[in-house]
Amino acid sequence: MKKAALEKLSQICDIFFFSLKSIKWAGRWGRLYENITESNIMKKYHIPQPQKIRKIESSFAWIDHRLIRNGFIAVMTHQDMALYLFLILAADKNGVSFYRKEKICEAVSLDFYQFEIARDRLVNMKLIAFESYSVLSPNGYYQILPVEGNAPNYSKQLTQNITKQLTSKLFRE
């Protein structure tokens, strides 16, 4: 099939996800390879307010989409999410923030007990790292860590702990 014929057919086949203009002949035996570009695949969508599209200004923070994909959102409590969001927004370019515990609790409406549980859960999930200023200080450095791996399966851990306790009690007797 000649290129001119392909171009004529492409006008008819525009309803497909790719156009025949993007098909190239390659090899001695005339195998077809598709050169699908992003514009051929992406659907057009409507922007409700095109005059107000976000732009990255002087400071910038991001939330990794792998929190959803790797199952972290499903196991995080509201307190975990609030603390994690605050730490992301307060972090510098290295992911480190220096806010005091009192200020964080005031900003996200957590009491100290809820804050410590949320912080420990985020550390356990390997989403943040915490290093106190000193042994006696409740304040310290918070670092947002890259999202790696899947979220811990707390229900599986709970059932394993229960079965261990039951088997130890049953076999002890």
Task: Say yes or no to pLDDT of 162 above 60.
Answer: yes
Domains belonging to the chain, first-starting first, are 3-41 (no CATH), 66-151 (1.10.10.10)
- What's the one-letter identity of residue 83? L
Question: Which long-range contacts (C-beta less than 8 Å, at least 24 apart) are formed by 117-122?
Answer: 117/79, 118/77, 118/79, 118/80, 118/82, 118/83, 119/83, 121/76, 121/77, 121/80, 122/80, 122/83, 122/84
Question: What are the pLDDT digits (tens) for 1-18?
Answer: 555 555 555 555 544 444
β-pairing, 96-97 vs 23-26, is unpaired
pTM assigned to the model: 0.63
* Mean pLDDT confidence for 27-46: 55
What mean pLDDT is reported for the chain? 78
Question: What are the pLDDT digits (tens) for 61-86?
Answer: 889 999 999 999 999 999 999 999 99
18 vs 54, more confident: 54
Cβ-based neighbours of 107, under 8 Å, separated by 6 or more: 86, 99
CA distance 91 to 79: 18
What's the confidence (pLDDT) of residue 42?
57
Of 84, 141, 154, the C-alpha closest to 115 is 84
